[in-house]
Amino acid sequence: MTECERIRAAAPGLAALPPDDPERAAAREHARTCPGCAEALLEGERLEALLGGLAPDALPAGAASGVARAIREELAREVRRRLVGSLVALAAALVLLVTLAHARSHSAGDWALSAALAATAVLLASLAGRFTLGAASAAVAAALGAALLGGRAGPLEAGMGLHCLLSEVAAGGLVLVAVRLALRGGSSAPSFWAFAAGAAAGALAADAALEVTCGARESLPHLLVFHLGGVLLAAGLGGLALRRRPAEEALAAHRP
């Protein structure tokens, strides 16, 4: 989790801390040069002001620090749940696509490339919450590299390509569903690029399966349009699946 993601997710808890609390001061100092974090902290302070009238007394300094610590621990647990959920979904998509395929490659080179893509997908899924834009970009680069490495002149095979494209998008969607379920009831929400990176990692896992199951896996035009295109499309759709942060929803509920 990046510093920006940590501050934005913990903004309501930070607003409950005393004004001179070191952690709140550090967050405000960071927000001086980060408009997104400044907005999140402002929303947290507004929410705290709205809810402040419900409590007759302010929290003691010790209790406030305990609340902030509990929030940090809960965020860490949510990160672990998100990671486990995404990895399980990624592995399930890979195994299902390979197992249910009508035919599989007998080439050691195809299987080696598939294994490399699968390992890359696992690595990127584990990094999606911390290096969001980098992980999404790396998934696209891996799909492009695999296409250039394994492809050569050949037909587009559009009919077969639609199946490949949908398989990758479905795998990316499966990862996002797993992440949503893992974070259900939690207080944090991944950023746009975290969703995009998770979906791209799932699509890359499907691309790994297609390296040994797709009948047009040696055609470069097919690989560029449908295999690489599937990773790009999954990343874009994953980012669009982002919803408002919990703090924003709480503020909206209290607005007249």
How far is the C-alpha of 47 from the C-alpha of 69, rounded, in Å?
A: 19
Per residue in 195-234, pLDDT tens? 899 999 999 999 999 999 999 999 999 999 999 999 999 9
pLDDT at 88: 92
How far is the C-alpha of 31 from the C-alpha of 117, rounded, in Å?
A: 38
Nearest to 78 by CA among 129, 36, 44: 129
Per residue in 62-117, pLDDT tens? 665 666 677 677 767 777 888 888 899 989 999 999 998 989 999 999 999 999 99
Q: Which two tokens stand for residue 109?
A: 């080179």
